[in-house]
Amino acid sequence: MRPIFENVPEPPSPPVVVTAPQGAPTFTPQQALAYIYKADDWEDFTVEWVRALGLWNGRPYLRVKRMGGSGDRGADVAACLTPQGTAGEWHCYQCKHYSKALTQSDARPEMVKIFTAKVLGEYELPTRYVFVAPKIGQTLDRLLLHPPKLREDFLEAWDKVDSKLGTDLDPAVRQAVGDLARQTDFSMFEAADIDNILELHATTPHHLWRFPKQLKPRPAAAPAPAEQRVDEAVYVQKLLDAYNEKYGLSLETLVQVREHKRINRQLARHREAFFHAEALRVFARESVPEATYKAIEKNLYNAVVDIEDRDYDCGHDRLDAVMDAATAHQPNPHNILAPVVEVIDLKGLCHHLANEDLLTWCKEESA
């Protein structure tokens, strides 16, 4: 049995910056999915939901692959549970985006495809086969809830003298497909509920981009911890270098800083800003695609980097100038995160940039 795809890295998704909604939304998510989305959009949306579903189930998929298109053999989205891909245990998500409700006459040809793929050695049968459609017809929905009746319905349509199912197959293959269907437990087939899909999709960063609305309230930032964390090492050292250069000191630790009240107060404010910005980053990670937060960070960097690159008498003067510029900076108002970005976040983001060696306070000045 050969897998339908090789074990190669999936291409990265294009970065997405979520913009603030303009006025009241015209459509609910259900309406947008049903009436605005096209088939390709529907499959992309399904991939996002399926990835979240694996995590929610406590058994994350090793790989989620969009397969839709000619030659997909009845699998629009393949979600694999083992390194063997579709040659091992996997779940099939069949995307159907019709203006009408999905019926059993729509479902049967897709069942034929997956049985045929097994007969031809393209896939193993999935342990779950899920129809994903904006609306499922009542009759099909009832059949999916009663697997023996679903199989009976399929075989009745398959065995009709004038059946159109599988008529394009080689007679031997069609016979094998029918035999496989008779031996298969049809409980593998099910349909996803659109409200449940949206409820889970709402927990992903993709949801706000697809269905713009106001952000949820941003939680208060936790105070800076008393002791320095490992991930503070770079920006704190750069601050100490600036203080040591200006005041002729040799401070190396926060304990030593506490002996100097003014410096201690300043460093405490810088650390508070760093952790405030860290809280913004976490909030953004849980609310919007990463590119939305990165756009805020890059916008700030572009606002301060030329100021940081000027000549100064000492590194502390450079630090002050950059912090003044950050305080005066206005994030792009079209970015949905802009309303929740505070002045303290902008200062803290400068320290995040310093942590990444994109900003430095003490450096050799040009002649």
- How many structural domains is the chain composed of? 2
At residue 94, φ and ψ (nearest 5 deg) are -100, 115
In a domain, 5, yes or no: no
**Cβ atoms of 310 and 326 closer than 8 Å:** no
Helix (H) or strand (E) holding 66: strand 63-66
End position of a domain, from candidates 150, 178, 210: 210
Return the pLDDT at 29: 84
Do 268 and 135 have their domain in common?
no
In whole angstroms, give the CA distance from residue 207 to residue 354.
32
Q: Could you please report the per-residue DSSP string of 210-247?
A: HS--PPPPPPPPPPPPSSPPGGGHHHHHHHHHHHHHHH
Return the pLDDT at 308: 96
In whole angstroms, give the CA distance from residue 222 to residue 272.
9
Do 202 and 270 have their domain in common?
no
Q: Could you please report the per-residue DSSP string of 298-330?
A: HHHHHHHHHHHTS--SSHHHHHHHHHHHHHH--
Do 141 and 266 have their domain in common?
no
Full residue range of the structural domain in which residue 191 is found:
29-210
In whole angstroms, give the CA distance from residue 49 to residue 54.
9
In a domain, 17, yes or no: no
What does the pLDDT look like over 327-361, one tens digit per residue?
Answer: 999 999 888 899 899 999 999 999 999 999 999 99
**Cβ atoms of 177 and 112 closer than 8 Å:** yes
**Cβ atoms of 60 and 252 closer than 8 Å:** no
Do 204 and 268 have their domain in common?
no
In a domain, 193, yes or no: yes
- The CA-based dihedral angle spanning residues 316, 318, 324, 328, taken in that order and rounded to the nearest 10 degrees: -160
End position of a domain, from candidates 210, 242, 274: 210
In a domain, 33, yes or no: yes
In a domain, 20, yes or no: no
Return the pLDDT at 191: 96
- Could you report the average pLDDT of every consecutive run of 10 residues in the chain (367 residues)? 40 59 63 84 92 88 83 81 94 91 94 95 94 94 96 95 93 96 96 93 85 81 93 95 93 90 94 97 89 94 96 95 96 88 97 97 68
Residue ranges in 120-224 assigned as alpha helix (H): 138-144, 147-159, 171-183, 194-201, 206-210
Return the pLDDT at 27: 67
Do 104 and 173 have their domain in common?
yes
Do 56 and 186 have their domain in common?
yes
In a domain, 293, yes or no: yes
Buried b (16+ CB within 10 A) or exposed e, 284-311: beebbbebbbebbbebbbebbeebbeee
Return the pLDDT at 28: 79
**pTM of the predicted model, to two decimals?**
0.60
Residue ranges in 57-146 assigned as alpha helix (H): 104-119, 138-144
Do 39 and 166 have their domain in common?
yes
Do 330 and 255 have their domain in common?
yes
Rounded alpha-carbon distances, angstroms, from residue 271 to 225, 258, 261? 9, 14, 15
Do 197 and 102 have their domain in common?
yes
Do 144 and 240 have their domain in common?
no
- The CA-based dihedral angle spanning residues 341, 347, 353, 354, taken in that order and rounded to the nearest 10 degrees: -170
Do 284 and 320 have their domain in common?
yes
Do 163 and 274 have their domain in common?
no
In whole angstroms, give the CA distance from residue 278 to residue 345.
8
In a domain, 360, yes or no: no
In a domain, 363, yes or no: no
What does the pLDDT look like over 256-295, one tens digit per residue?
Answer: 998 899 999 999 999 999 999 999 999 999 888 888 899 9
DSSP-based three-state secondary structure for 36: helix
End position of a domain, from candidates 210, 239, 266: 210
Buried b (16+ CB within 10 A) or exposed e, 183-217: ebebebbbbbebeebbebbeebbbbbbbbeeebee
